[in-house]
């Protein structure tokens, strides 16, 4: 049984895009989003079978909102405070054992 | 088979089309002179596959010898797919006559779980350190 495969792997694409403006009380709010996409598809053609499969994943992360009014344009950043706190916890989880290991070394030298 | 492959490619193409920036900003809700727009981070994905097998049914050994080309091709097609979507609120945009501001939404449950895990981790390392220092001296 001979099979010939065609695999098309799309690279991870990450770009910042602006959404459609939202009008609220004389102001225009433009969402700014980081969009990351990943796709892959594959086809197999053989003498006894033909098959195809594919998958894709998209992640949308808001990064800011642009406020346009008569006074001008203002960029208001959107921060994910939960993610920031979790990153801090993770950093602490790495640093604390290192500091304690240094403490043990110092205590043994004394 | 062509139909299934077309469906696969259409679905993959549709994925990019759906991934627009407006998916993360909810509909504005106005109440008591202020407008609130929920903001979430969104992630979604899907996978699918289709297959077609060609079964070669022989009509019999004698018949094959007599007529080699007398083979009947039959086959079955099958396909399946699935997907998932995750949306997590991260902020709220509040628009008032005075101005626009972003209020962060904190997931207290996740933070509490992570904080508990970190505390357990710290206690473990602290105990280990104390045992190493004082156990060594003893």
Residues with pLDDT less than 70, chain B: 1-21, 55-74, 136-138
A23 in contact with B at a CB cutoff of 8 Å?
Answer: no
Distance CA A6, CA B87 (A): 34
* DSSP-derived 3-state class of residue A29: strand
Q: Which residues contact B104 (CB under 8 A, 6 or more apart)?
A: A79, A80, A81, B90, B91
Find the largest Cα–Cα distance for chain B: 94
Q: Which of B16, B122, B132 has its CB closest to that of A104? A: B132
Which stretch of DSSP H or E encloses residue A100?
helix A81-109
Contact A58 B45 (CB under 8 A): yes
Query: Measured between alpha carbons, how far is residue B11 from residues A36, B7, B45, B81 in Å?
Result: 18, 6, 11, 10
ipTM passes above 0.95: no
A72 in contact with B at a CB cutoff of 8 Å?
Answer: no
pTM: 0.69
Looking at residue A102, its pLDDT comes to 92
Alpha helices, DSSP H only, in chain A? 81-109
Looking at residue B63, its pLDDT comes to 46
Q: Which of A33, A57, A92 has its CB closest to that of B24? A: A33
* DSSP-derived 3-state class of residue A80: coil
CB pairs under 8 A between A and B: 186
Q: How many helices (H) and strands (E) does chain A have?
A: 1, 5
Note the pLDDT tens digit of each residue in A66-91.
998 888 899 999 999 999 999 999 99
Averages of pLDDT over runs of 10 residues in chain A (110 residues) are 66 86 87 87 80 85 90 90 94 94 86
Identify the burial level of B78 via C-beta atoms within 10 angstroms of its C-beta, where 0-12 means exposed, 13-18 middle and 19 or more buried.
exposed
């Amino acid at each position: 049984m001979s099979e010939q495969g065609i695999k098309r792997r799309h690279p991870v694409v990450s770009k910042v895009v602006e959404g459609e403006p939202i009008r609220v009380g004389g102001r225009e709010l433009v969402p700014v989003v980081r969009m990351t996409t990943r796709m892959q598809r594959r086809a197999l053609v053989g003498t006894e079978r033909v098959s195809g499969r594919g998958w894709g994943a998209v992640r949308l992360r808001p990064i800011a909102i642009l406020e346009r009014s008569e006074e001008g344009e203002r960029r208001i950043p959107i921060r994910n405070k939960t993610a920031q706190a979790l990153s801090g916890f993770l950093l602490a989880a790495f640093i604390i054992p290192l500091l304690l290991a240094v403490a043990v070394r110092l205590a043994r030298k004394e | 088979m062509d139909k299934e492959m077309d469906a696969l490619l259409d679905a993959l193409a549709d994925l990019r089309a759906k991934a627009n920036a407006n998916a993360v900003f909810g509909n504005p809700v106005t109440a008591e002179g202020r407008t609130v727009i929920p903001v979430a981070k969104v992630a979604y994905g899907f996978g699918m596959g289709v297959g077609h097998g060609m079964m070669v049914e022989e009509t019999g050994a004698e018949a094959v010898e007599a007529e080699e080309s007398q083979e009947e091709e039959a086959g079955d097609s099958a396909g399946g797919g699935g997907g998932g979507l995750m949306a997590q609120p991260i902020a709220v945009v509040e628009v008032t006559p005075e101005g626009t501001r972003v209020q962060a939404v904190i997931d207290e449950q996740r933070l509490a779980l992570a904080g508990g895990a970190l505390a357990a981790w710290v206690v473990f390392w602290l105990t280990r350190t104390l045992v190493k220092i004082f156990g060594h001296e003893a």
